[in-house]
Every structure is written in structure tokens, then in C-alpha cells.
Amino acid sequence: MVKLLSTWRRTFLLAVSFWVVSLVVSATAMSLAFLGAPLPIFLFLFGWLLTVGLPTSLAIVLVMSV
């Protein structure tokens, strides 16, 4: 039981940390767009959001809604 709880807690913390990073990247992208940042910065930020950030956020929402 203790090992199961530990595994669940580790998975939960990993999912929440990815979600927080995705949220920060999204907020940074919007803030930099408002300030007129150069294109290479957006390529990196949108690359994160499309490859790791968005699927992670959707997976967390779907898992937590069950």
C-alpha cells in the first residue's frame, strides 16, 4: 500500500509539474507577443506547447475528470 501511494504521488507531482511549466510557457508567449518579441523565441515556445505542453495538459484534464 505504501509503495502504491508513493507511485501515485510521484506520478501526480510529475503531471502537475508539466502542467505548471506549460502554463508558464503559455503566459510567457502571450506576454512576449504583447511586447513584440522576435520570432525565434516564439518558435521555441510554440514548439514546447505543441509537442509536450498541449498533450500533457489535455491528458491531465482527462485523467482528473474520471
Q: What DSSP string runs through 19-54?
A: HHHHHHHHHHHHHHHHHT--HHHHHHHHHHIIIIIH
Residue 25: per-residue pLDDT: 78
Overall number of domains in the chain: 1
pTM for the full predicted model: 0.58
The 10 Å Cβ neighbour count of residue 41 is 13
1/4 Cα distance (integer angstroms): 5
Residue 43: per-residue pLDDT: 81
Residue 57: per-residue pLDDT: 66
Using one digit for the tens of pLDDT, what is the confidence trace for 23-63? 787 778 778 878 888 888 878 877 877 787 777 667 766 66
